[in-house]
Amino acid sequence: MTHSVDGPYTARQLQAEISKRFAQLRLARNITQQTLAREAGIGLRTLRRLEAGQPTSFDTFLRVVISLNLGDDLPTAIPSYDIRPIERVENRGRERRRARPKVQGQQNQPWAWGDETPD
């Protein structure tokens, strides 16, 4: 997936791209809209709206993903955040359950190798 010239995808651009890919994949696998809708447990009109890039529910999206056997690949699109041992110590063994607003001027970037300041 490529980004637009002006920066990251907008929600509309992302929706259009994913919708187009659903239709292309369905056709490449020689599956009719009627068959995919039935296997996903959704209405034919709903599938047509999804493939046209029109708004549908997240449940509809997931049903089509699963029906196209893409369910195992979807979680890899969103990186998992595992708490580091030092964060567990700093938080006294508790994991973060809510985010705090950023304080102006405060950097909220995770540390990475090479970020050290020279001594």
Asked if pLDDT for residue 1 goes beyond 50, the answer is no
Q: Kindly state the average pLDDT of the residues 75-104.
A: 71
Model pTM score: 0.64
State the Cα–Cα distance between residues 95 and 87, nearest whole angstrom: 8
> What's the pLDDT tens digit per position in 24-69?
999 999 999 999 999 999 999 999 999 999 999 999 999 999 999 9
Task: Please count the other Cβ atoms lying within 10 Å of the Cβ belonging to residue 58.
Answer: 7
Task: Determine the Cα–Cα distance for residues 58 and 74; give it in Å rounded to an integer.
Answer: 13
Residue 18 pLDDT class (50, 70, 90 cuts): very high
Mean pLDDT of the chain: 82
CATH number of 11-77: 1.10.260.40
Q: Is 62 exposed, middle or buried (0-12, 13-18, 19+ CB in 10 A)?
A: middle
| Distance (Å, whole) CA 33 – CA 43 | 10
